[in-house]
């Protein structure tokens, strides 16, 4: 889970349209009035095409994306299309959260408001709550579902760790013989690709960022590129994004 910047509501979602759609829902609770194409598109764009809770990719055309209501629609019908109440979710997370009422049972992490790193840490690919809000989110959304999200985090973590190990070997070779231009370029591209896995747009970026940021060999890779004169502003930008997405900071 990473921090998401809440963008302005789509222009089609005017105050009049909100009132109209809300009235339709109150009249017929079976009417999924929030399922408008312009709402879905805006939410997908806002979340980098990912579920805001587990960070799996959601595909609008394949109908994998669902719209979650932070304040559940059953208990808060007047918020059913309130822009600040809507977030994109995968079906697994949306079903698990279900009718959880934050007004009754306690607030959960809202990634458009909260920084998940304030409430969650990552240990052995499982989330651990730093506070009551984090613990409630883990339980209510089932964020440590071993069959799905923990296994996915493990796969990402294994891939990232393996990439770092290979890059360390390459860095040592480049430092001992900096005249190998081709290998130096391979190192540069490899570290860049590694950091790209931690970007907010990447699937499970919080996991990748947390592992890279805390890996004891990452600083050595950074230093190697500095010594070789290959650490650029683009690397600085990617590193900043990594640090922002990492949970154990």
Half-sphere exposure of residue 146: CA atoms within 13 angstroms, side-chain side: 1
Evaluate whether residue 125 is within a structural domain: no
Residue 60 pLDDT: 56
Confirm whether pTM is higher than 0.95: no
Residue 178 pLDDT: 84
Please say which residue of 69, 99, 114 terminates a domain. 114
**How do residues 162-186 score in pLDDT, each as one tens digit?**
999 999 999 999 999 888 899 999 9
Per-residue three-class SS string for 76-106: CHHHCCCHHHEEEEEHHHHHHHCCCCHHHHC
The domain total for the chain is 2
Residue 64 pLDDT: 82
**Percent of the chain with pLDDT strictly greater than 70:** 98
Helix intervals (H) in the chain: 15-27, 37-46, 91-97, 102-105, 132-141, 151-176, 181-196, 205-214, 218-227, 233-245
**How do residues 49-96 score in pLDDT, each as one tens digit?**
999 999 999 975 555 889 999 999 999 999 999 999 999 999 999 999
**Percent of the chain with pLDDT strictly greater than 90:** 94
Evaluate whether residue 220 is within a structural domain: yes
Residue 213 pLDDT: 95
**How do residues 3-23 score in pLDDT, each as one tens digit?**
999 999 999 999 999 999 999
Residue 136 pLDDT: 98
Report the chain's mean pLDDT, rounded to a whole number. 94
Using CA atoms, how far residue 29 sits from 75, 96, 168, in Å, is: 11, 20, 57
Nearest one of 210, 211, 171 to 190, comparing CA atoms: 171
Residue 61 pLDDT: 54
Please say which residue of 91, 114, 137 terminates a domain. 114
Residue 149 pLDDT: 93
Same-domain check for residues 109 and 173: no
Same-domain check for residues 152 and 73: no
Evaluate whether residue 119 is within a structural domain: no
Residue 53 pLDDT: 96
Mean pLDDT along residues 209-220:
96
Biggest alpha carbon distance in the chain? 74
Same-domain check for residues 42 and 104: yes
Mean pLDDT along residues 139-157:
94
Residue 249 pLDDT: 76
Q: Among all chains, which residue has been given the structure tokens 């105050």?
A: 15
Please say which residue of 71, 96, 114 terminates a domain. 114
**How do residues 114-138 score in pLDDT, each as one tens digit?**
999 999 999 999 999 999 999 999 9
Evaluate whether residue 213 is within a structural domain: yes
Same-domain check for residues 57 and 100: yes
Q: Name residue 57's beta-bridge partners.
A: 50
Three-state DSSP at 200 gives coil
d(CA 168, CA 172): 6
Range of the domain at 84: 15-114
Residue 147 pLDDT: 86
Residue 144 pLDDT: 96
Specify the range with the lowest mean pLDDT, choosing from 59-63, 102-106, 132-136, 152-156: 59-63
Which residues have C-beta within 8 Å of that of residue 182, sequence separation ≥ 6?
none
Same-domain check for residues 239 and 196: yes
């Amino acid at each position: 889970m990473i921090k998401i910047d809440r963008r302005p509501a789509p222009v089609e979602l005017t105050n009049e349209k909100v009132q109209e759609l809300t009235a339709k829902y109150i009249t017929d609770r079976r009417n999924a009035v929030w399922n408008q194409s312009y709402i879905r598109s805006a939410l997908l764009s806002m979340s980098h095409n990912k579920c805001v809770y587990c960070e799996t990719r959601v595909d609008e055309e394949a109908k994998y994306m669902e719209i979650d209501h932070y304040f559940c629609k059953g208990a808060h019908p007047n918020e059913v299309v309130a822009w600040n109440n809507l977030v994109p979710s995968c079906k697994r997370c949306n079903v698990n959260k279900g009718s959880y009422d934050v007004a009754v049972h306690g607030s959960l992490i809202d990634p458009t408001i909260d920084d998940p790193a304030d409430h969650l840490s990552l240990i052995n690919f499982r989330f651990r709550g730093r506070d009551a809000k984090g613990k409630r989110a883990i339980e209510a959304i089932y964020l440590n579902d071993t069959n799905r999200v923990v296994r996915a985090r493990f796969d990402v973590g294994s891939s990232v760790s393996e990439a770092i190990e290979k890059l360390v070997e390459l860095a040592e070779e480049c430092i001992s013989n900096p005249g190998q231009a081709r290998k130096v370029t391979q190192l540069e591209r490899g570290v860049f690709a590694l950091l790209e896995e931690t970007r907010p747009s990447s699937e499970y970026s919080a996991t990748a960022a947390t592992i890279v940021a805390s890996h004891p060999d990452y600083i050595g890779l950074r230093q190697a590129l500095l010594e070789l004169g290959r650490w650029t502003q683009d690397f600085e930008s990617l590193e900043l994004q990594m640090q922002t997405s990492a949970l154990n900071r």
